[in-house]
Structure 1
Amino acid sequence: MPKGEGKLIAQNKKARHDYSILETIEAGVVLQGTEIKSVRDSRINLKDGFVRIRNGEAYLYNVHISPYDQGNIFNHDPLRTRKLLLHKKQIQKLANEAKNPGTTIVPLKVYIKDGFAKVLIGLAKGKREYDKRETLKRKDQERQISRVLKNF
């Protein structure tokens, strides 16, 4: 299966607007208890999420997974830090790239693949305001061109 394929649960559209994505990597997520049920119900928000490397391990911060409705006392903290499952070489590569100024690691998508929750994380470089406007102009022009070609 190619990267990012599976049942799409959530997508971080703001990340592609605010950052230019240099590289993407698929990672597993360590979830506790009822978190996977909430993820399968698409009750996850990636908007403010980011990845940080600590002690040779990758962690996912600020990703909100809502408590499961039928979870009672077994529910989890919605904003807790979650560990990402990556190979050691991938973590080292991400850590070296993230040291560069203006570069960060952001979650792009969450999806279910072979029964497991996966996160597509991207090595991203921040866009300036004029870059964002240029991207929006280009998308608008492409949309207009496809609309005109569709009529022919």
Structure 2
Amino acid sequence: MNRIGLTLMAAAAAAMIAADAFAGEPSQPFAPTAEKFYLKFSVFAPADIRCDATGPGVRTKVSRSVTGAPLLRITGNASDAQIQCWRPDGSRYTTDVNRKVSYNAAGAVWATVMLQTGGDAASVMVERDGEQDRLVPTIYSGAFVKVRE
């Protein structure tokens, strides 16, 4: 690798560490990955929903959109991540859309949950970075489901 490439990688790692420090989270080592899966919610989703993903080699970061809905960013082994969401009333939700899509190094997979308050299942619309003009978004009906106890 040339010096410019190494300098850019060091700058990217430093920026990630600084962002983690400002967010009050422990820093994780720089690990580039080809699997990036972002789960977001439509404006009709309840604002009190929370989400997380777990699994070996899974790295997550949770933030909020302008509307207050969560944005779950999954990197690393996104195709094997177990996604769980919950609300303060005790209801829990899950999805496995991240296991149904194919990944590439060109960009992230964006999944939008179209959940409405009181629903037991919701559709998930999937699209990729930079492919909005070439690829019709895929909709998985009932892919975000309420967990039955």
* Richer in helix (by share): 1
By relative contact order (CA 8 Å, sep 6+), the higher-ranking structure is 1
TM-score (norm. length: structure 1): 0.28
Q: Which has the larger radius of gyration?
A: 1
TM-score (norm. length: structure 2): 0.28
